[in-house]
Amino acid sequence: MKVAVLGGGAWGTALALTSLRGGNPTTFWMRDADAVRAVNERHENPGYLPGIALDAELTATDDLDAALVGAECVLAVAPAQALREVASRLVGRIRPGVPVVICAKGIERSSGKRLSEIIREMLPDNPPAALSGPSFATDVARGLPTAVTVAAVDAELAAMLARLLSAPQFRCYSSDDLVGVEIGGALKNVLAIAAGAVIGAGLGASAQAALVTRGFVELRRIGASFGARPETLMGLSGLGDLVLTCGSAQSRNFAYGLALGRGDSLVGMKLAEGVATAGIAATIAAQRGIRAPITDAVDRMLAGTLTIDRAVGELLSRPLRAEDD
Ligand SMILES: NC(=O)C1=CN([C@@H]2O[C@H](COP(=O)(O)OP(=O)(O)OC[C@H]3O[C@@H](n4cnc5c(N)ncnc54)[C@H](OP(=O)(O)O)[C@@H]3O)[C@@H](O)[C@H]2O)C=CC1
Ligand SMILES: O=C(CO)COP(=O)(O)O
Query: In the listed set 131, 153, 176, which residue is the last one of a domain according to the structure?
Result: 176
Q: Is 276 in the pocket of ligand 1 (CB under 6 A)?
A: no
Binding site for sn-glycerol 3-phosphate, by residue number, is: 105, 133, 135, 188, 241, 251-253
Q: Which residues of the chain have pLDDT under 50?
A: none
- Using the Cα atoms of residue 315, residue 259, residue 110 and residue 35 in order, give the sign of their dihedral: negative
In Å, how far are 140, 142, 149, 158 from 170, measured between CA atoms?
A: 7, 11, 11, 16
Q: Which ipTM value was assigned to this complex?
A: 0.99
Looking up residue 286, the CATH number of its domain turns out to be 1.10.1040.10
The Cα–Cα gap between 2 and 21 comes to: 13
Active-site residue, 188 included: yes
Task: For residues 13 and 101, state if they share a domain.
Answer: yes
Please give the tally of structural domains in the chain. 2
Looking up residue 47, the CATH number of its domain turns out to be 3.40.50.720
Task: For residues 168 and 65, state if they share a domain.
Answer: yes
Task: For residues 31 and 172, state if they share a domain.
Answer: yes
Q: Is 80 in the pocket of ligand 1 (CB under 6 A)?
A: yes
Q: Within a domain: residue 37?
A: yes
Task: For residues 88 and 29, state if they share a domain.
Answer: yes
Domain that holds residue 205: 180-316
User: What pLDDT score does 47 carry?
Assistant: 97
User: What pLDDT score does 35 carry?
Assistant: 98
pLDDT in tens, 228-253: 999 999 999 999 999 999 999 999 99
User: What pLDDT score does 132 carry?
Assistant: 98
DSSP per-residue string spanning 18-63: HHHHTT--EEEE-S-HHHHHHHHHHS-BTTTBTT-PPPTT---BS-
User: What pLDDT score does 170 carry?
Assistant: 98
Q: Within a domain: residue 164?
A: yes
Query: In the listed set 141, 176, 211, which residue is the last one of a domain according to the structure?
Result: 176
User: What pLDDT score does 80 carry?
Assistant: 98
Task: For residues 238 and 108, state if they share a domain.
Answer: no
Q: Is 31 in the pocket of ligand 1 (CB under 6 A)?
A: yes
User: What pLDDT score does 159 carry?
Assistant: 98
Active site residue: 21, 84, 120, 188, which one?
188
User: What pLDDT score does 148 carry?
Assistant: 98
Q: Which residues contact 235 (CB under 8 A, 6 or more apart)?
A: 133, 149, 173, 175, 184
